Amino acid sequence: MVGSIDTLHPSLYSDGSSYNCNGLEEKLDELRRLLGKGADDPLRIVSVGAGAWGSVFAALLQDSYGQFREKVQIRIWRRPGKAVDRATAEHLFEVINSREDVLRRLIRRCAYLKYVEARLGDRTLFADEILKDGFCLNMIDTPLCPLKVVTNLQEAVWDADIVVNGLPSTETREVFEEISNYWKERITVPIIISLSKGIEAALEPVPHIITPTQMINRATGVPIENVLYLGGPNIASEIYNKEYANARICGAEKWRKPLAKFLRHPHFIVWDNSDLVTHEVMGGLKNVYAIGAGMVAALTNESATSKSVYFAHCTSEMIFITHLLAEEPEKLAGPLLADTYVTLLKGRNAWYGQMLAKGELSRDMGDNIRGKGMIQGVSAVGAFYELLSQSSLSVLHPDGNKPVAPVELCPILKTLYKILITREKSSQAILQALRDETLTDPRDRIEIAQSHAFYRPSLLGQP
């Protein structure tokens, strides 16, 4: 495969198709010039966190640019010591033997025997170990190219030019606070691209959202113009399998435009946008409602009618919330709905909702699920509910024309909070909420948002 350590044909994709090597090298050289890299100084890129999207992102870069070894160094960091259980090892062995290219590669690298032994229970594999061979623990069915894995965080980041944040939002602050200790004597300022979709809530001095890019900025002191967000309506495994996809990189113009060009490929189109925080927040918002969609699908045996009823109500709530968070919410409508749609179709949050409703998972198992990784929507439910329940943000309720907290006009969000956070209700409550005859017409909720000056810049920490 392209970019693998032992590749002989760097101009070919894993499926045999070719691409323009010279064009890639030109893009790499252009970015190196912008970063002031000398001839003998490789561009150092490290992905921090090895979940599905973080691993795929690193693999895409390795596939494209890994052949230019003297000009770029691409690595990925993950914590050591995570054991692969016997069932996963057995499944991994089946995946290896179903892919002739992967099987041949492992044999050539003298790495196949350890997977045989793990299948038999004669040895334990570790997540960082298999990642070196191109297997992400959260995405076993999609083999990647071999990756350069570093388990020491200081070694991974201390001299990195570009750091990709592939961590869940719930881990971002802690890890980047540690990273800041290794950057105290840096002369140059790194660029950080965050892939994380999730938010936290803060109530002081006023209720506001904290996003991963803000966490990174505050933890490290890296200027916000050097911190960007990349997201879009996509599924990591499908992107690596070269399904056509697109995304946006958001942030300061100085870096977003050259990075969009650097990351763009024929099957993965990257646009750029200046609106960093609202795109980032919208990426977290869709995860909230995806969990409920999964519950409805499971509880109604995939009823198209029930799912469409839910979709009408959840999208109206999302539009309502968007009007609170964005000065020009109409510009976000397309990206938000697209991201929501793909998450409902195949995202881990919708899957999680299904498994909860079917009784195959329980809330006591936590938010980090084996084979899937962190379910970001759970913490986002808590954060959005906490923010929108503040009386200081009150809006007029259409019935009685009295001021209420915004969450009172978001019955789906309220119900998800009671299912997932306080756990006072079962998954069945999501259907009860939909079938409540007193429920506001979704159209009315949208009209309320559009007919009032709803925008609350303070929610995004803006004056």
DSSP percent split of the chain into helix, strand, coil, nearest 5: 50, 15, 35
The answer to whether residue 286 is catalytic is yes
Dist CA 376 CA 321 (whole Å):
18
Tokens of 341: 């749609």
Site of tokens 């050539």: 108
How far apart, in Å, are the Cα atoms of 146 and each of 61, 135, 226? 12, 8, 29
Indicate the residue type of 244: Y
Tokens of 305: 């009618």
Tokens of 150: 């570093």
381 half-sphere exposure, CB direction, 13 A CA radius: 27
235 half-sphere exposure, CB direction, 13 A CA radius: 20
List, in sequence order, every residue forming a beta bridge with 208; answer none if it has no partner: 202
Catalytic residue (choose from 286, 372, 414, 418): 286
List, in sequence order, every residue forming a beta bridge with 73; answer none if it has no partner: 44
Q: How far apart are the first and last CA of the chain?
A: 50
Judging by beta carbons within 10 Å of its beta carbon (0-12, 13-18, 19+), is residue 458 exposed, middle or buried? middle
Long-range contacts, 417-422 (Cβ 8 Å, 24+): 417/381, 417/382, 417/385, 419/295, 419/356, 420/291, 420/363, 420/378, 420/381, 420/382, 421/378, 421/381, 421/382, 421/385
Q: Do the beta carbons of residue 358 and residue 385 sit within 8 Å?
A: no
Catalytically annotated residues: 286
